[in-house]
Amino acid sequence: MKSSILTDHTLIIDELETRIKFHNLNFILGFLPQGSYLVGGYIRDIILGRETEKVDFDIVVPFNAIEIGQKIADNIGSKFIILDEKREVVRIILNHIYIDIANQDSSTIEGDLCSRDFSINSIAFLFDKKSLFDPLNGLKDLEISLLRTHSENNLLNDPLRILRCFRFVSELNFKIDLNLINFIKKNKGKLYLVAKERINNEIQKIVHGANALDSVLLIKKLNIFGNDKLSEDSFFLDLEKINYSELNQEEKEKFLPSFFIAQILDVVSLEKLKFNKAEIVKTKLLRKWHFFLENKNTADFDESDRFKLHKELEMFLPSFIFYLPQNLRLDWLNRWRDKEDKLFHPSNLINGDVIKKNLKIEDGPILGDLLQYLSKELAYKRLNNFDEAIYKATQWIEQNAPKCD
């Protein structure tokens, strides 16, 4: 859609009005005073022909944003949140649609648009005139897929916008203007002025984008998070030399984000940025087994090493594949894809409740060790059926359970 729509404002306006009706947003127009306008990602995504699950509808009004937002929310019975009482910024949430309403900061619309983050987000649709207003040539930048800012101060006002550049590389496949790159190099340290949760959220969007690899490569090249170990620590790989085609599309979507996060942030940084415990544990395990492989060839693993590796990495083994020797990757992937391969899927191989009932054994360390033993026996195909499991379990208990005098 982009190539044809950019040359004709009428096409953009027609599509805007069609989409506004489609999202049932035309009902709010009667609540808006003269001089109100639509701006930001909603317009940008329509021009790019981009569909998103979550719809962001950003409106700027000349005055009384809180009062207007409250009236709209009351009229439709939706959730109403005041995001910034002083600046009068509110949010109305209607299912998957987020309507943000803010007061115009500057005395002119152009002044307001010049203070926005990037030119591609500074295109306004004036409700009164049913016309587009594009003082920063955002349409041209959309046409050439270029990310550019009108003023560096726009980014310094909210340094998260530095990281947002990489999100647009990942999600939209945009290039970053050279002047903006130089600015990022000088000011990346200011990211740490931003709330950790916001940084975390932006990173998640980056690693889940369609062009996440390009974005992560740029983040590493510019050393955005100031991690000196990225070039010294063997855990941080040369991402340009990896053959990602070994993973199918579903595996890429599910497992590459964790792999990329571990490639741009060490464990200490993950903890500082308040990543969830599961992500931190995952990275610790990836590191643990990478360094294990550094010191020991997989051919020299004993049964316990190999079983433990697959037990700890089972749920996200494709995130670990790239640390393996090239000649092993496809074989390991294919075995992991086979859900019947007991070595590659050792979790929950034996039902603890069934063992307890048949052997009259209680919860405790002995039961845990027994289940571990039986799971390993099954993984290495030394168990064929339930009766064998009970027999071996009985033998193991006789040999390992504490003896009473």
Task: Supply the DSSP string of 203-223, one letter for each residue.
Answer: HHHHHTSTTHHHHHHHHHHTT
Last residue of a domain, one of 278, 295, 310: 278
Last residue of a domain, one of 222, 251, 278: 278
φ/ψ of 343, rounded to 5, equals: -70, -40
For residue 404, the model assigns a pLDDT of: 54
The verdict on 34 and 155 lying in the same domain is no
The verdict on 240 and 367 lying in the same domain is no
User: Is 211 among the domain residues?
Assistant: yes
CA atoms within 13 A on the CB side of 347: 10
The verdict on 124 and 238 lying in the same domain is no
**Which two three-digit tokens encode residue 306?**
């190999």
User: Is 37 among the domain residues?
Assistant: yes
How far apart CA 19 and CA 194 sit, in angstroms, is: 34
User: Is 298 among the domain residues?
Assistant: no
Into how many domains does the chain fold? 3
Q: Which of 251, 173, 247 is nearest to 210 (CA)?
A: 173
CA 14 to chain centre: 33
For residue 367, the model assigns a pLDDT of: 84
The verdict on 135 and 198 lying in the same domain is no
Q: Which of 173, 109, 110, 119 is nearest to 149 (CA)?
A: 119
The verdict on 139 and 150 lying in the same domain is no
The verdict on 121 and 187 lying in the same domain is no
How far apart CA 89 and CA 83 sit, in angstroms, is: 5
User: Is 138 among the domain residues?
Assistant: yes
Q: Which of 151, 330, 365, 344 is nearest to 244 (CA)?
A: 330
The answer to whether residues 246 and 330 touch, using CB atoms and an 8 Å cutoff, is yes
**Which two three-digit tokens encode residue 290?**
């990478």
User: Is 171 among the domain residues?
Assistant: yes
DSSP lists the bridge partners of residue 92 as 80, 99
How far apart CA 306 and CA 299 sit, in angstroms, is: 10
φ/ψ of 79, rounded to 5, equals: -70, 140
The verdict on 137 and 151 lying in the same domain is no
The verdict on 68 and 121 lying in the same domain is yes
Q: How long is the chain?
A: 405
The verdict on 46 and 174 lying in the same domain is no
Last residue of a domain, one of 128, 143, 158: 143
The verdict on 135 and 188 lying in the same domain is no
pLDDT digit of tens for each residue in the chain (405 aa)?
454 555 578 999 999 999 999 988 988 999 999 999 999 999 999 999 998 888 999 999 999 999 999 999 999 899 999 999 999 999 999 888 999 999 999 999 999 999 999 999 999 999 999 999 999 999 999 999 999 999 999 999 999 999 999 999 999 999 999 999 999 999 999 998 999 999 999 999 999 999 999 999 999 999 999 877 777 899 999 999 999 999 999 999 999 999 999 999 999 999 999 999 999 999 999 999 999 999 999 989 999 999 999 999 999 999 999 999 999 999 999 999 999 998 999 875 667 787 788 887 888 888 888 888 888 888 898 887 778 888 888 888 888 877 654
What domain range is 109 assigned to? 2-143
Non-local (6+) Cβ contacts of 395 within 8 A are none
Residue with tokens 């803010």: 102
User: Is 345 among the domain residues?
Assistant: no
User: Is 209 among the domain residues?
Assistant: yes
For residue 349, the model assigns a pLDDT of: 60
For residue 346, the model assigns a pLDDT of: 85
The single-letter DSSP state of residue 177 is P
φ/ψ of 218, rounded to 5, equals: -70, -40
The verdict on 59 and 109 lying in the same domain is yes
The verdict on 89 and 108 lying in the same domain is yes
CATH number of the domain bearing residue 72: 3.30.460.10
